[in-house]
Chains A and B, each alone.
Chain A
Amino acid sequence: MHRGQDADLDLVICDGASRTFLRGTVRVPAVRPTSCTVVPGMRVALTGPSGSGKSTLLHLLAGLETPTAGTVSWPGLGGPPQGRPGVVGLVFQGPSLVPALDVVENVTLPLLLAGADAVDAVSWAHEALDRLDIGGLARKLPEEISGGQAQRVAIARVLASAPRLILADEPTGQLDHATGERVLTVLLETADELDAALVVTTHDEQVARRLALRWRMADGVLATEEIS
C-alpha cells in the first residue's frame, strides 16, 4: 500500500516552523517557532485552548500551510505531500464535504485523485463507511445528513485512502459521547492496521487519555511530551 517510503524514517519534522497570519495590519502569530517530530506509529493527543493554534499546526504538518519561518519536512513520506492525495489524511475541523457529491463519491474522491481504479475505490469507500456505522448514508448528499454524520464521512474519506499519517482535527467535536468513543476506536484500529501515525486535536480529556502522547498548545507555543 505504501509507495516507496522508508518505514523507519520520521514522518514529519518541524524545525522551528511558525505561522503568522495577517489580519488587516495586525500580525496574528498562530503558531510560534516550533520543533517537533512525528514518527511512525505515534499516537498524539493535541490539546489546548481555543485559538491556541492547534488547527494551524495540523495544517502545517499536512503541508496545507506554508510556514512563515522555519521548515517542515516529510522524510518518511518521500517529500512534501501536496499534490499527492492519500499520503497524509486530514480530517478537517469544519465541514469539508463537496456539496455536489454524495457520501460515497466524497469518500472516493481522494482515491480517484490518487489514480485508483473506480470500482476498487467504491468498494474501499463502502468498507470505510461501514466501519464508521454510516454505510446507510452512502447515497445521501452532504446537505441531507447531520453535522456529526458529515464529520464521520470526512473520517471515512481519510481511512479509505489508507495514509501513513492521520491528522484529525476534533473528530469527536460534534458527536455524542458513545459515538465519539466508537469513532476514536475506529481511528486507533485503522492506524494500527496501517502502521500509521495518528495526531488528534481535542478538548475532550477522555479522548486525549486514550492516546499515548500528549502535546499541549498555548498561545501558539507547543509543549511536546517525549515518549516514555
Chain B
Amino acid sequence: MIRIWLAGLVRRRAGRLGVAAAGVAVAVALLASLGAFLASSQASMTARAVRDVTVDWQVQVQPGADPAAVLDTVRAAAGTTQAVPVGFGQADGLTATTGATTQNTGAAVVLGLPYSYRATFPGELRTLAGTDQGVLVAQQTAANLGVAPGGTITVNLRGGAATSLRVDGVVDLPAANSLFQTVGAPPGSQPNAPPDNVVLLPEARWQDLFAPLASGAAAADGVHTQIHAARSHALPADPASAFVAESGQARNLEAQTAGAAVVGDNLGAALDAARSDAAYAQVLFVFLGLPGAVLAGLLTVAVAAAGADRRRREQALARTRGVTTTQVLWLAALEAGLVGLLGAAGGLAAAALVGWSAFGAVRFGATPVAAVGWTAGAALVGLLVAAAAILAPAYRDVRSATVAASRRTAPDARSRDRSPWWARYGIDVLLLAGGGLIVWSTTGTGYQLVLAPEGVPTISVSYWAFAGPALLWVGAGLLIRCLVETTLRRRRLVGRVVGPVAGRLASTAAAMMARGRRPLARSVVLLGLALAFAVSTATFNATYAAQAEADAQLTNGADVTVTQSPGVRVGPEAAPPLAAVPGVRAVEPLQHRFAYIGKDLQDLYGVRPDTITGVTALQDSYFQGGSARSLMATLTTAPDSILVSAETVKDYQLLPGDVVNLRLQDSTTKQLVTVPFHYAGIVTEFPTAPKDSFFVANASYVAAKTGNNAVGAFLVDTGGGDVTTVAAQIQARLGASATVTDIAHTRSRVGSSLTAVDLAGLTAVELGFALVLAAAAGGLVLFLGLAERRRTFAITTALGATRRQMRGLVTAEAAVLTVGGLVAGASVGWLLSQVLVAVLTGVFDPPPASATVPWAYLGIAVAVTLGGLGIATVGALRPGRRAPVALLREL
C-alpha cells in the first residue's frame, strides 16, 4: 500500500513536494555554508596569526643554567625547525660625537646575533641604511646619537669599560615589543615600551664584550641568553586547537629543562589572540546566519501549510475508506522523511557548491569532527524542518479532526474573532521590551561578548547577549502578525485602502482578506522578516566593510603613505612633486616628532588642520570633547591647541584650556626647548599613530617653535584609484629616501583582529541567501496563498467577473502583502541593524560612528521581492486553459 501511496504522492503532488524540499534545502544549505565559512575563516585566522609572528619561541636561559644544553633541548623539541642563541646585554649608555657636538643616551640594550639570524627570522630586522650584517644601530638610537653608517659610537658597559664601534647599518625593529618582552612575566606586567636604545652585534663581538660579565655578579643585571626558535607551522586549522597544541609543547619544554628555561611563547600568544577572534566569528555566525536558517524553516512550514486543506481532505477521505490514524501518521512521516532527505541532500550539495566557489574549499568545519558535526547537524535540521512542516500538522489534524470537521476550510467559527493567546496577553510587546532591555544592558556597560583570558585555554562566549536579538526577532514577528490581523479586521479601512485597485469589489476584497487574515498575516510576517534579515545582514556587512577600511586607513594613514627614511629631511615643499605623480589626487604632509611631557616620551603629529581631512578619513569616534571637524577647526583658529590621549589627561589632570608644556628638539641647537600648548581635546586614534599615547598639534605652530618644518610622512590620496601602481611610481621616484606603503597591502595585513578576517565569502553567501529568502517569501507565499484561493477565483469568474475585476481582487491582496511586508521589513531591519552593530561593537576597534546603509543592495533586495510578488500575481491571474466550471468540479 505504501508503495502505491508513494507513487501517487510523487505523481500528483510532485510540485508541492519539490517546493517543500527546496525550502528544506535552503535552510540546510545556509547552515552548511556557514559551517564552511567558519572552517575557512578559522583556518585563515590561524594562518594569519602564525604569519605575523616573527620569532615563535624566545626561550630564556635562567641564571646559572647552561645555554648550550638549553639550545640542544629546544632543537630536539618536537616541532622546532630552527633554533639559535641570542645574547642580551645591558650598557649604561651610548655616546657619539658628530662634528662639534657630543650626544649621550641613557641605558641601552646590546644584542648578540648569530650570522644566520636574519635569514632565519627575516621579520625581526629591517635595514634602513648601510649593510645587513655587522654593528647595527636601531633607528631611534641613530636619531638620538645623530650617527649614520660609517660613524662611530661608544658603548659604556657596566663597571666602567667602554668600547668604540664603527656603525655598519641602521635598522628598524618592527617586532621590538615582543623581542624585548620580559619572558615569563604575566601579560599585565610587561614593559610599556621597548628600550629606546638598541645596538645589535655579531655573536662573536658580543661574546667579547659580555662573556666576562655573564658569569659574574652582573648576570643578574640583565646579561643573559635567549634561544630563539622557529617552529613548525603545521598546526590544527582551528586557532583554539592550535593554541592548545602549541602552548602544550611550550610547557612541555619548560618541564623537560627542569626550570633551566622559560618559554616566551610568541606563537602561542598570537594563537591565543586569534582564538577569541575565532570565537567572535562563531558569534557572528549565530547572529547573522541563524535567523536566516530559521526563516527558511518557517518558509517551508508556510509552504506546506498552504497545501494543508487539500491534505486534510485527502486524509479524511483515506480514513473513510478504512485507513487507520496510525497509518495516516505513518504516511505523513514517510512524506516528511522523503522531503527532509531530498532537502538535506540538495542543501548539502548546494552548500558544497557555495563553499567551493566562495571559500575555495568544500569543508563544513575546521576539524574533521567539526565537519561531521556541521554536516550531520545541518541535515538533522532539514529533517526537523520537514517534520515540523508535514508531520506536525498531520498529527494535529488526526488528534483534533473528525471526518466531518475536515470539510471546514476556514478558521474555526468560534476562534474566528478571537486574537491568538499571545496577543491577548501582550506577549509580543513583552518580548520586544525584554529584548530591548537585554540589548540595552549588554551594550550599555561595555560588556564583553567573547572572553578569552590570555593564556587560559577556555573561551567563554556570552550566549546571554544572543537573547536580546533573539527576543527582538520573535517579538517583532508576533507584533507584526498581531498588527496585520488587527488592521485586516477593520474591513472598512482595508476597503478604502484597496479601493484604487479593487474598485467596486473593494469591500469584497476586504471581506476576503479579513476572513483569510491568518495566512495573510503570516505571509506578511515572513516577507517582513525576510526583508529584515536582508536589511540587517547587509547593513552589518557594509558597516563591517567600512570599518575594516577605516582600520586600514588608520594604520596606513591614507591610500598611499610616504614615510621619510631616518636622516632624510624634507619639508612640506616636497608635496607638490608628489602631487604631480599620475593618479595622485592630493598630498598632505604630516609632521612626526617625539615630545617629552614630564619624563614621558610620546609621538607628536603636526597636521595642517584645514586640509588633512581631504586625504584621510577622520572619524568622530577617534576624538572626545568634540567632533573631528570641530577639533580640526579649533587647531586652525587657535594654532597652539593640542589634542592629547585620555591617559595623559588623567595623569596630568587636564581641563580644557590648560597649558601643556612639551619639550621638543630645536633644529639649530639640537637642544630640547619648551613649547607651550593649550589642551583642546582628546584623541584616541589617528592615521599612522600608535595605539598608545600621542599628541596631535598644528604643524605650522610646531615648525615655528622648533625652527623645523621637516615632514615625517606624506599622506597621498588617490581618489579611489589604483593604489598599488601609484605607490610603485612614487617609490621609483624617491628611491631609498622614503618608504612607500599602500592601503591594499595594509588591508591584507592589519593585525589578527577580526576585521582582518575576510568576510567577503560570508557576505556573498548571506546576501545571496537573503535575496532568495526575500524573493521566496514574497513570491512563493503569495502564489501558494492565491493558489489556495483558486476555487474562489473560479467561482468569481463563473459568476461573470471580467479580467480587470479579477486582477483587482488579486492585486489588492498582493498590494497588502507588499506594503505590509516592506514596512515591516524596513522597520524591523532598521531596528535589528542598530542592535547588531551595537551588540557586536566589540568586533570593531575603534567602533563605528554609525551604521553604513548599503542602498544599492537594499534596492536590489526590494526589486527582487517586488519581482517575486509580481510574478506570483501574474501567475495567479494567468488565464487557465480550462474553463472555471471544470476547475469547480475538481476543487
B889 close to A110 (CB less than 8 A): no
Which residues of the partner chain A approach B508 to less than 8 Å between Cβ atoms? 101, 105, 109, 112
Give every chain B residue within 8 A of A97 (Cβ-Cβ).
Answer: 795
* B877 → A minimal CB distance (Å): 15
Chain A 98-138 against B: per-residue CB contact (8 Å), 1 yes, 0 no?
A: 11111001000110111100100000000000000000000
Asked if A92 contacts B883 (CB within 8 A), the reply is no
Q: How far is the CA of A17 from the CA of B409 in the complex (A)?
A: 38
Residues of A within 8 Å of B512, CB to CB, are 98, 100-101
Tell me the complex Cα distance, A82–B806, Å: 13
Closest-CB distance, A191 to chain B (whole angstroms): 19
B504–A83 touching, CB < 8 Å = no
Known: A59-B885, A64-B884, A66-B883. Contact between A109 and B408, CB under 8 A? no
CA gap between A113 and B511 in the complex, in Å = 15
- Please determine whether B791 and A64 come into contact, CB atoms closer than 8 angstroms: no
Query: Quick check: is A143 within 8 A (CB to CB) of the other chain?
Result: yes
Pair B888/A82 contact, Cβ less than 8 Å = no
- The interface residues of chain A lying within 8 Å CB-to-CB of B883 are 59, 64-66
> What is the CB-to-nearest-CB distance from B805 to chain A, in angstroms, rounded to a whole number?
6
Query: Contacts A64-B798, A64-B884, A92-B888 given: A113-B408 contact, CB under 8 Å?
Result: no
CB of A84 within 8 A of chain B? Answer: yes
Which residues of chain B from 407 to 465 have a CB within 8 Å of any chain A CB? 407-410, 413
Indicate which residue in A66, A90, A112 contacts B798 across the interface (CB closer than 8 Å). Answer: A90
Interface size, B (range): 20 to 34
What's the minimum C-beta distance from A29 to chain B, rounded to whole angstroms? 16
B408 touches A143 (CB 8 A): yes
Complex contacts, B410 vs chain A, CB 8 Å? 99-100, 141, 143
Assembled-state Cα–Cα distance A59/B885 (Å): 8
Task: Tally A residues with Cβ within 8 Å of B.
Answer: 33
Within the complex, the shortest CB–CB distance from B610 to chain A, in Å, comes to 69
Q: How far is the CB of A51 from chain B (nearest CB, A)?
A: 13
Q: Would B798 and A113 count as touching, CB distance under 8 A?
A: no
Given the complex of chains A and B, what is the CA–CA distance between A100 and B514 in angstroms? 9
| Cβ-defined contact, A143 with B800, below 8 A | no
Contacts of B888 in A (CB 8 A): 92, 94, 96
Contact of B805 among A94, A98, A113 (CB under 8 A): A113
Return the chain B residue nearest A59 by Cβ. Answer: B885
Q: B795 touching A85 by the CB < 8 A rule? A: no
Q: Contact between A143 and B795 (Cβ–Cβ < 8 Å)?
A: no
The reply to whether B515 and A100 contact each other, CB–CB distance below 8 Å, is: yes
- Shortest C-beta distance, B433 to chain A (Å), equals 35
Q: Is the Cβ of A81 less than 8 Å from the Cβ of B800?
A: yes
Q: Would you give the shortest CB distance from B548 to chain A, in whole angstroms?
A: 52
Interface residue? A144 (CB, 8 A) = yes
Cα of A157 to Cα of B512 in the assembled complex, Å: 18
Of B504, B791, B803, which contacts A112 at CB under 8 A? Answer: B504
Q: Produce 1/0 per residue, B782-795, CB < 8 A to A.
A: 00000001011001
Do the beta carbons of A118 and B795 come within 8 Å of each other? no
- Interface presence of A40 (CB below 8 A): no
Report if A77 contacts B (CB, 8 A). Answer: no
For residue B98, which residues in chain A have a CB less than 8 angstroms away from its CB?
none
Nearest A residue to B799, CB-CB: A110
> B residues 506-534 with Cβ under 8 Å of A?
507-508, 511-512, 515-516
Whether A143 pairs with B407 at a CB distance below 8 angstroms is yes
Cβ distance B475 to chain A, nearest Cβ, rounded Å: 30
B505 at the interface (CB under 8 A from A): yes
A115 & B884 in contact (Cβ 8 Å cutoff): no
Interface of A is mostly: loop
B407, B505, B885: which contacts A113 (Cβ < 8 A)?
Answer: B505
The answer to the question of A12 belonging to the interface, with a C-beta cut-off of 8 Å to chain B, is no
Please, which residues of chain A bring their CB within 8 A of the CB of B802? 83, 113
A86 and B800 within 8 A (CB): yes
Q: Which residues of A contact B889 (CB under 8 A)?
A: 94
Determine whether B796 belongs to the interface, using a CB cutoff of 8 Å to chain A: yes
Give the residues in chain A near B409, CB-CB below 8 Å. Answer: 99, 143
Residues on B with beta carbons closer than 8 Å to the beta carbon of A102? 511
B860 within 8 A of A: no
Q: Beta-carbon contacts of A24-62 to B below 8 Å, as 1s and 0s?
A: 000000000000000000000000000000000001000
Contact of A101 with B515 at beta-carbon distance under 8 Å, contacts A65-B885, A113-B805 already known: yes
A87 to chain B, nearest CB (A): 7
Bound together, the chains give a CA A105 to CA B792 distance in angstroms of 13
Q: Which residue of A lies closest to B409 (CB)?
A: A99
Q: In chain B, residues 739-789, which have Cβ atoms closer than 8 Å to a Cβ of chain A?
A: 789
Measured between C-beta atoms, what is the minimum distance from B106 to chain A in Å? 90
Contacts of B511 in A (CB 8 A): 100-102, 105
Q: How far is the CB of A176 from chain B (nearest CB, A)?
A: 20
Question: Contact at A143–B413, with CB atoms within 8 Å?
Answer: yes
Write the chain B residue with the least CB distance to A144: B413
Chain A CB within 10 Å — which of B413, B798, B802 has the most?
B798
B413 x A85 contact (CB < 8 A):
no
Closest B residue to A55 by CB, please name it.
B885
Nearest CB of A to B886, in Å: 8
In the complex, which of the residues A84, A94, A98 has the most CB atoms of chain B within 10 Å of its own CB atom? A98
Given A66-B883, A83-B802, A141-B515, A118-B413 contact (CB < 8 Å): no
A132 nearest CB across to chain B (Å): 18
Report the Cα distance A200→B504, complex, angstroms. 32
CA–CA, A87 and B801, complex, Å: 12
Are the CB atoms of A83 and B413 closer together than 8 Å? no
**Shortest Cβ distance from B316 into chain A, in angstroms?**
14
In the bound complex, CA of A110 to CA of B516 (Å): 21
- With a cutoff of 8 Å between Cβ atoms, the chain B residues found around residue A118 in the complex are 504, 507
CA distance A115 to B802 in the complex (A): 11
Residues of B within 8 A of A109 (CB): 508, 796, 799
Give CA–CA (A113, B506) in the complex, Å.
Answer: 11
Residues on the A chain within 8 Å of B515, using CB: 100-101, 141
Alpha-carbon distance A48/B824, docked complex (angstroms):
58
User: In whole angstroms, how far apart are the Cα atoms of A96 and B888 in the complex?
Assistant: 8
CA distance in complex: A82, B888 (Å): 16
The complex places the Cα of A114 from the Cα of B796 at a distance, in Å, of: 12
Q: Cβ of A113 and Cβ of B799 under 8 Å apart?
A: yes
A2 to nearest B CB, angstroms?
16
* A64–B802 alpha-carbon span in the complex (Å): 13
Q: Which listed residue, B504, B789, B795, touches A96 by the CB 8 Å rule?
A: B795
Q: How far is the CB of A73 from chain B (nearest CB, A)?
A: 18
From A87, A96, A99, A105, residue with most partner B Cβ within 10 Å: A99
Q: In chain B, what residue has the closest Cβ to A116?
A: B504
Query: Please, how many angstroms separate the alpha-carbon atoms of A64 and B413 in the complex?
Result: 33
Are A100 and B504 in contact, CB atoms less than 8 angstroms apart? no
Q: Given A100-B410, A100-B792, A113-B796, A64 and B504 touching (CB < 8 A)?
A: no
Give the most central of B795, B802, B805, B889: most A CB within 10 Å: B795
Minimum distance in angstroms from A130 CB to a CB of chain B: 21
Q: Of residues B507, B792, B800, B884, which shows the largest number of chain A Cβ atoms within 10 Å of its Cβ? A: B800
Using CB atoms, name the residue of chain B closest to A86.
B800
Inter-chain CA distance A164–B408, complex, in Å, is: 35
Measured CA separation A143–B885 after assembly (Å): 21
Inter-subunit contact A84/B792 (CB<8 Å): no
B681-707: CB near A (< 8 Å → 1, else 0) gives 000000000000000000000000000
* A114 to B802 Cα, complex, angstroms: 9
Measured CB to CB, the closest approach of chain A to B116, in angstroms, equals 86
26 sample A-B contacts, Cβ–Cβ < 8 Å, listed by A number: A59-B885, A64-B883, A83-B800, A83-B801, A86-B800, A92-B798, A92-B888, A94-B888, A96-B795, A96-B888, A97-B795, A99-B409, A99-B410, A99-B791, A100-B511, A100-B792, A102-B511, A109-B508, A109-B799, A112-B505, A113-B504, A113-B799, A141-B410, A143-B408, A143-B410, A157-B799
20 other A-B residue contacts (CB within 8 Å) besides A85-B799, A100-B792, A143-B410: A59-B885, A64-B798, A64-B884, A65-B883, A83-B803, A87-B800, A90-B798, A92-B798, A92-B885, A96-B798, A99-B791, A100-B410, A100-B512, A100-B515, A109-B508, A112-B505, A113-B796, A114-B800, A144-B413, A157-B799
Task: List 5 tightest A-B contacts by C-beta distance, closest first.
Answer: A85-B800, A100-B515, A100-B512, A110-B799, A83-B802
